[in-house]
Amino acid sequence: MSSSVITRFAPSPTGFLHIGGGRTALFNWAYARNRGGKMLLRIEDTDRERSTPEAVDAILDGLTWLGLDWDGEVVSQFARASRHREVAEILLAKGLAYRCYCTPEELLAMREKAEAEKRPLRYDGTWRDRDPATAPAGIKPAIRFKAPQQGETVIEDHVQSRVVIQNKELDDLIILRSDGNPTYNLSVVVDDHDMGVTHIIRGSDHLTNAARQTQIYKAMGWHVPEMAHIPLIHGADGAKLSKRHGALGVEAYRAMGYLPEAMRNYLARLGWSHGDDEIFSTEQMISWFDLDGIGKSPSRFDFVKLENLNGHYMRQTPDADLLAAFLAFLPHAAGGPEMLARIDSDMRAKLLRAMPGLKERAKTLLELMKSAQFLFAERPIALDDKAKQIMADGGVAALRGLLPILEAADWNVHSLEAAVKAHAEATGTKLGKLAQPLRATMTGTNTSPGIFDVLDVLGREESLNRIADALK
């Protein structure tokens, strides 16, 4: 009997892995890794109409991109339905569940009555104590859990503290539908028990389920796992998270050019804290992670903060690693595959040389992709409006004066910079008045990495040709 921690991530594969799911997975992962335990992965695919293989793949892919690995085989909840049925039968045999023969009409009447009285629907217990011998013919019964009617169910939650739910609030829920399909709360309990889960870490929207599940554990005489219900993520304005706020699939964050390590750091801080630490490595997070650090109030998703954090990670990533991340990112970005197709070993070398300048200015790989465009532009390169304006405002004349200076210079960052500065001084021109037309000519825009880096990376021939084009 091992006492080691076992957590699980249990997504329903009805869409992509959304950002809240990514955070839940991260917390389960970090806690398990902190304790030297395991994180299991269970796909809750019992809703056959909404669960698709594509969604399962998207979840596995999203977790893998985030760098969250799981232990053992992926468990399919649907595949375990016969075990769930078996437990329903055990509860029946123990007298802790019963067959309900209510007709759809009777259930509808119950619903309408509840609606008319403006109260939540509760099963009225018709078959709770009724003799099954009086069952009507031709009705396939559902199995209902005989929920305790008096007293209270207590959840000692690691985040929400002591949550007390009056048993009279919880009705006899169906655990096995009349078509023989188990329902969610039964399946979750049976799976978590059989998988040896010691800690359930999930969204606080599952608190009511937690009470129902606790009752089922107790009815089976099973140990109730520790629970931690994390507050949901809100938008920057405090409202429920919507698409506009960032309630997107993790693949959308990949396509926007965020680095997985920055995402891990950011998601960890969405609801968990370690003192005042804002930036920490994944290793630090693992060594610090504890359920006590999870806050009680909802966290707010803040794109600006995420961007800044990502920029920080990009700047501190070694150039070769960032280039590798960039190449891995391109297939997921709009226009990225086309750029990737043009990256040969020569272009790779150029990108690597340009990387220090590129990463200084980009907060995401998408921004980096945009500012690397100048390397790919084909002559004569198109100028945007701002670049055209610079050329019209004396840029052409400035370049004309500069051309012989550049032609005579050694082609490296230092010599180019020294030559252009000397020319600026000699002619009484502000450096910007030379640098801006050069930038417009080299990149077609008015923003770029340092202009001497740009000239250096493009090389003498290409740079001088771009100037010649501009002077035509």
Q: Rule CB under 6 A: which of 300-329 touch ligand GLU?
A: none
Strands annotated E in 211-308? 226-230, 233-234, 299-300
String of contacts with ligand GLU for each residue 368-397, x by CB under 6 A: ------------------------------
Residue 243 a catalytic site member: yes
Residue 294 near residue 230 (C-beta atoms within 8 A): yes
Binders of ligand GLU in range 131-190 (CB under 6 A): 188
Contact between 225 and ligand GLU per CB under 6 A:
no
CB of 12 or CB of 126, closer to ligand GLU: 12
What would the two tokens of residue 401 be?
Answer: 């004066």
* 62 sits near ligand GLU (criterion: CB under 6 A): no
Question: Based on CB atoms, which residue is closest to ligand GLU, 46 or 364?
Answer: 46
446 binds ligand GLU (CB under 6 A): no
Question: Is residue 98 a contact partner of residue 175, using CB atoms and an 8 Å limit?
Answer: no
Number of residues that bind ligand GLU (CB under 6 A): 7
Kindly tell me which of 188 and 440 has the beta carbon lying closer to ligand GLU. Answer: 188
The stretch near ligand GLU (CB under 6 A) out of 6-14, 107-115, 256-264, 425-433 is 6-14
DSSP 94: T
Q: Where does this chain touch ligand GLU (CB under 6 A) — which range of 10-18, 29-37, 148-156, 304-312?
A: 10-18
- Residue 376: its H or E element: helix 373-376
- If the CB atoms of residues 146 and 206 are measured against ligand GLU, the closer one turns out to be 206
Summary count for the chain: helices (H), strands (E): 21, 12
**How many Cβ atoms from other residues are within 10 Å of residue 45's Cβ?**
21
CB of 154 to ligand GLU, least distance (A): 19
- Coil/strand/helix, residue 7: strand
Strand partners of residue 97: 145
Q: Which two tokens stand for residue 329?
A: 């990112």
Of the ranges 5-13, 175-183, 246-254, 360-368, which one interacts with ligand GLU (CB under 6 A)?
Answer: 5-13
* Binding of residue 12 to ligand GLU (CB under 6 A): yes
Check: CB of residue 226 under 8 Å from CB of residue 216. no
DSSP secondary-structure letter at 95? T
Q: Are 195 and 330 in contact (CB under 8 A)?
A: no
Catalytic residue among 243, 350, 386, 433: 243
* Nearest approach, Cβ of residue 203 and ligand GLU (Å): 7
Q: Applying CB under 6 A, does 88 fall inside the site for ligand GLU?
A: no
User: Which string of x and - marks every residue 36-55 that binds ligand GLU (by CB under 6 A)?
Assistant: --------x-----------
- Which amino acid makes up residue 252? A
CA–CA dist 71, 288 (Å, integer) = 21
Instruction: Report the C-alpha gap between 273 and 39 in whole angstroms.
Output: 21
Which C-beta is closer to ligand GLU: that of 44 or that of 261? 44
User: In the set 5, 6, 11, 374, which binds ligand GLU (CB under 6 A)?
Assistant: 11
Backbone angles phi, psi at 16, to 5 degrees: -75, 170
CB-nearer residue toward ligand GLU: 12 or 167: 12
Q: Cα 44–45–50 angle (5° rounding)?
A: 125
For the bound state, the minimum distance from the C-beta of residue 202 to ligand GLU, rounded and expressed in Å, comes to: 4
Which one, 232 or 377, has the nearer CB to ligand GLU? 232
Residues in contact with ligand GLU, shown as a per-residue x/- string from 183 to 222 under the rule CB under 6 A:
-----x-------------x---x----------------
CB of 12 to ligand GLU, least distance (A): 4
Copy the structure tokens of residue 187: 């399946």
Is the distance from CB of 136 to CB of 103 less than 8 angstroms? yes
Q: Which residues pair with 182 in a beta bridge?
A: 176
Name the nearest CA neighbour of 294 among 161, 197, 188, 156: 161
> Annotated catalytic sites, by residue?
243
* Contacting residues toward ligand GLU, per CB under 6 A: 10-12, 44, 188, 202, 206
